[in-house]
Each structure stands twice: as structure tokens, then as C-alpha cells.
Copies of this chain bind each other. A is one copy, B any other.
Amino acid sequence: MTKITDLKGYCYPLTPEGKSSIVGGFPWHYGTEYLNIAYRANPDEIAKWLPEPLELGPQPDVAYVAFSKWWSIWENGEAMPNINPGRTQYQEAAIWVGCSYKGTPGQICLPIWVNKDFSMARGWFMGFAKKLGEINITDYNPYNPMMSEIGIGTKMTGVVSANGEKLMQGSIEIDRKIDRTELPYPMGLPVFHIRHFPSLVPGAKPSVLELVKLGATNWQWDPNVWAGQGDLKFFPSEIEEHMPLAPKEIIGAYRFRNGYTFPGAEVLHDWLAE
């Protein structure tokens, strides 16, 4: 008889051959292209999203919105770009805030939208509260007679909409190159996320509710890290809750590419064990 261990796959669907999971198992390998706008929000509002043992970060009002493009494959999934290219590309828009865990500064992603199902599912495993949306980001082809290579003077804009509502729009007007170490807090800090999976039993606690620290290794960086003037607007929605995190002041905007491997995570705290 079939045993549960005969069903294969990192995640749904669990199948006899394990070849159709919406994502294969980690490590997961990513390449990115970011348009980030760092800003100050209301720290009291940020605090409402950070449950103990998480706390506000050392710069409690600082947040950033990241409009990004992603190229991803899972371990042993190098064939996928040529089997079904769409399964290896997606776009994302996310609000990140600083936080800290037992004195260690970090960051956490709050509302976030992506445009592919596999990214939404993988996000849920990693504590990203992903929902589907449309993300559009300026892109230039330097061979278009009216376009140039990205550089000083380039303007780029990211927009995210979901369920017919525009939610956020941000832009950069590049004025300088910086070193990646100059990217502002909390970019690059460890990611502390809340993993959650609900129960179907009436009145029960969630089936999963844990604080994790996401790993990231094997960093690769495009040496061209651009910075400039930023602009960021949030738009009201009938069904989203991003508005309390809206920008009060823009810190700056950044445009860069990098890549890394996700090797797994460490469980820091289990709220179900409290």
C-alpha cells in the first residue's frame, strides 16, 4: 500500500513522481533587480506589526518599498528556464521595515504582492504574506534610439496594483553611483519572518506560528549600485492595509542588481509553544 513517504514533493502537489510541485525544495537561487525607495513612516504604526519577541529596530521609523524583478530556480532546477521560462521569472512589490530580535537588528517584509503563483506559494512558506498583483517597472533597452543605458539622469518608476486598485508608485531619478555598503538601513539586514499556516478546526490555534530567520548565502553583486532622488506614493484601497505605513518623508532611492542562495531558515521562536 502507498505510504505517506511515497508521495513526493517539497510542497503541493504531493505526487507519486514529485515532479509537479509548485516549487521544488530549497536551496533556492535568486537573481534580482531592485528599485527601492527608503522612507520614514510612523513608528507607532510600524510597531503594531512587530509582535514580541520582535521589537522595533534601531531606526524605528525607517522602511522601504522594493519594486523588483526576480530570476529564480530551485536546486537541481537548472532545466526549468528552457522547459517553461515563465516559471523562473516574476515581479514583486513589497514594504519592508526594520525590526530587531534580541538586540540583533533585522528587517521584516509586511504587505507584498507578486505576479506568479509559484512565488506566492514559496513566499508563504518563508513568511512573506504574498498576494497576487500587477507590478510594472520602467525598463530601458539602450538600442531604442530614444533610450539609453541606465546611469546618472535616468528616471525609473515602479507601480503595483492588485484587484483593480493602484496601491503604490515610486520612482528614482539617479544622481550618483554608490558602493553597496552605502545602501541604507534596513536593506541587507537579516530577515526575521512570521511563518503561519491556519487550522481548519473551529476555535483552534493556527497549525504553524513561528518566528524564523531566513538564511542567505552566496551573495553576488552587480558593482553598479545607483542612488538618487526618490518619490513614493501610497494609494487608498478598499481591501488592503498598507496606508498606515505610508511615507512621511523620503530618504532616497536605489537601483541595483544582486543574487543569492536561500539555504533554509532557523526557527527562533514558536508562538504555539507559549
Q: Could you list which residues of chain A lie within 8 angstroms of chain B, going by C-beta atoms?
A: 1-7, 10-17, 19-20, 22, 25-26, 29-33, 45, 47-52, 55, 71-73, 78, 81-89, 110-111, 117-118, 120-121, 124-126, 129-132, 134, 136-147, 155-161, 163-166, 171, 194-198, 200-202, 207-209, 212, 214, 218, 220-222, 238-241, 244, 257-261, 263-267, 271, 274
Contacts and interface: CB of A to CB of B under 8 A. Distances in A.
B164 A84 contact: yes
Contacts of A130: 12
A265 B200 contact: yes
Contact of A165 (B31, B45, B166, B202): B166
Contacts of A5: 51
B222 A16 contact: no
15 contacts: A1-B52, A11-B196, A13-B241, A29-B146, A31-B143, A71-B147, A81-B140, A83-B157, A83-B239, A84-B163, A85-B136, A85-B137, A143-B220, A197-B197, A197-B207
A164 B239 contact: no
A20 B110 CA distance: 12
A188 to B, nearest CB: 15
Contact of A71 (B14, B84, B111, B141): B141
B164 A82 contact: no
A155 B84 CA distance: 13
Contacts of A160: 164
Q: What are the nearest 7 A-B pairs in CB distance?
A: A31-B141, A31-B144, A143-B259, A13-B129, A161-B164, A12-B129, A200-B265
A183 to B, nearest CB: 15
B140 A117 contact: no
Contacts of A33: 141
A220 B145 contact: yes
Contacts of A83: 157, 238-239
Contacts of A50: 2
Contact of A49 (B11, B15, B131): B15
A4 to B, nearest CB: 4
A15 B196 CA distance: 12
B140 A52 contact: no
Contact of A120 (B78, B120, B207): B120
A246 B138 CA distance: 30
Contacts of A147: 29, 31, 71, 73, 81, 259
B82 A12 contact: no
A263 B201 CA distance: 9
A17 to B, nearest CB: 6
